[in-house]
Amino acid sequence: MAVNVSDNNFENEVLKADQPVIVDFWAEWCGPCKAMSPLVDALEQELGDTAKVVKINIDDSPEAPTKYGVRGIPTFMVFKGGEVVDTRVGGMSKGALTDWVKSKI
User: Which positions are catalytic?
Assistant: 30, 33
Q: How far apart are CA 69 and CA 17, in angstroms?
A: 21
Question: Edge-to-edge, what's the strand order for the sheet holding 83-89?
Answer: 3-5, 52-57, 21-26, 75-80, 83-89
* Tally: H helices and E strands in the chain: 4, 5
Other beta carbons within 10 Å of 68:
17
